[in-house]
Amino acid sequence: MTELVRADIAYPAAGSRTLRGLRDPVDPHVIVLFGATGDLSRRKLLPGLTYLALSSLTPDIQIVGTSLDEMDDDAFRAFAHEAVSKFGTRPLTDEQWDAFAHKLHYVPQSAGPDALGEAVKEAEQKLADPCRRLHYLSVPPKAAVAVIEMLRDADLVDRSRVVMEKPFGTDLKSAVELNRRVHETFSEDQIFRIDHFLGKEPALNILAFRFANGLFEPIWNRNFIDHVQIDVPEVLGLDNRADFYEATGAYKDMVVTHLFQIMAFVAMEPPTALEPRAISEEKNKVFRSLMPIETSDVVRGQYTGYRQERGVSSDSDTETFIALRAGIDNWRWAGVPFYLRTGKKLAEGMRIISIAFREAPRAMFPQGSGVATEGPDHLTFDLADTAKVSLSFYGKRPGPGMRLEKLSMQFSTAETDRVADVLEAYERLMLDAMWGDHTLFTTAEGIESLWARSVDLIEDPPPVKPYAPGSWGPNAIHQLIAPHAWRLPFERAWREKK
């Protein structure tokens, strides 16, 4: 009798490990940090690597920094020490810093690929065999291909993974070309396209909340959810990034790279296993179901004074703000609008996901009871590192009669005894890349799908509307979301731990 092979069972993938379960020990790593003296490295990567290296979370590591700046090992260690002292979130003793400093080495990019290759091999000699390489490209997108070619010329492709910063392309054509160029040197399983929003603790908490709770899993669909908001306003301006921002704008910088990725975690179907390949496939299904972004469903804004910023064109049409309505054309979400908003120099800096549930019939409640006066019930995720969750609902106000008011139940990781275990986003993502875990990274297919659905908007964007710094954006955002309302600013503050 011929043995039947089930070809329709795709997951878990061969050799895969379940998400953050028990793992085999990982090999020692040499981390090659491109753009090692840049702002991201100074603020996030070097402080994060310091913590990881001194913890029990990572294997033994050596770090080789490289950038356009001319310096030696000692100068780079001094630079790193200043960065960790200023931006690190955990105090270090002198002994701890000395232990980390000896892991730091530096090669200027002007020395060429041979010098870089030699420095990596010297660092590998300090580690036990076998060891792996993690190349972190903290460089502008336009420099990514040159760095990939340098790694190839330095013979640093084997036993390697490469982490690439956003944005990955600026439209469909450039994303396809960048994928093609990178794939000439690295295979897809070696490439980790980073989105630091997904590295935050609440990202995986969304999966846990959705799929582990019988209270919410059955109602996570168009029959019970009225609309979804993903709102990421920023109070900062350009922060000396005019050259970068003029070529991208809010949509390319934030929506394609961050907000759509968050939307995928909210909207995805249950994966068949908690492992990277299964989760990536469900995210990609969301992107394939995303309806093309129509110009009529978008509000673009530019804060007053943007064109006077240093490095900005006096007639710039670059948006510093964008709000849009998106739709997912599948069985679960058909007809449910997803409202996304982000921008610079807004009233508050927040990162929230707000799920608005359909309202219940209210004929039984007397007029004046207060029911339906404060909007629908909401489930709100705050994507801050403390992973706050709030559920708002109507309840009876104490006293005579039937008078209702909005109440809320709230949770925060800060209220637990595990708050010290929270990893900063870049710490988590660098650790995952060392493990080879693609769960919180984007794929070539996913990023190209998003750019394909952005073609109409990119080719025919609506004009930018001015808005005052410190506001919530142009007034047109209220017509975009009507008859609903934006959750921010919140009607009530988060409860803080006493």
Instruction: Identify the sign of the CA torsion 5, 9, 12, 14.
Output: positive
Cα–Cα distance for residue pair 396/48, rounded to 1 Å: 47
Task: Quote the Cα angle for 189-193-197, to 5°.
Answer: 135
Rounded to whole angstroms, the Cα distance separating 318 from 497 reads 41
Residue with tokens 């005894």: 417
| 64 phi, psi to nearest 5 deg | -115, 110
Q: At what angle do helices 260-267 and 201-211 cross, to 10 degrees?
A: 20
SS3 helix, strand, coil % of the chain, rounded to 5? Answer: 35, 20, 45
Q: Which residues contact 211 (CB under 8 A, 6 or more apart)?
A: 217, 270
Nearest-5° angle of CA 423, CA 426, CA 427?
A: 45
What is the end-to-end Cα distance of the chain in Å, rounded? 69
Q: Are 443 and 284 in contact (CB under 8 A)?
A: yes
Q: How far is CA 420 from the centre of its chain?
A: 21
Interatomic CA distance for residues 172 and 417, integer angstroms: 45
Cβ contact 259:352 at 8 Å: no
Length of the chain: 498
- Which of 29, 135, 196, 258 is flagged as catalytic? 258
Q: Which amino acid is at 256?
A: V
Crossing angle of the two packed helices 46-54 and 425-435, in degrees rounded to 10: 60
Give the CA angle between residues 90, 92, 97 to the nearest 5°: 130
Q: Is 258 a catalytic residue?
A: yes
Q: Which sequence positions are flagged as catalytic?
A: 258
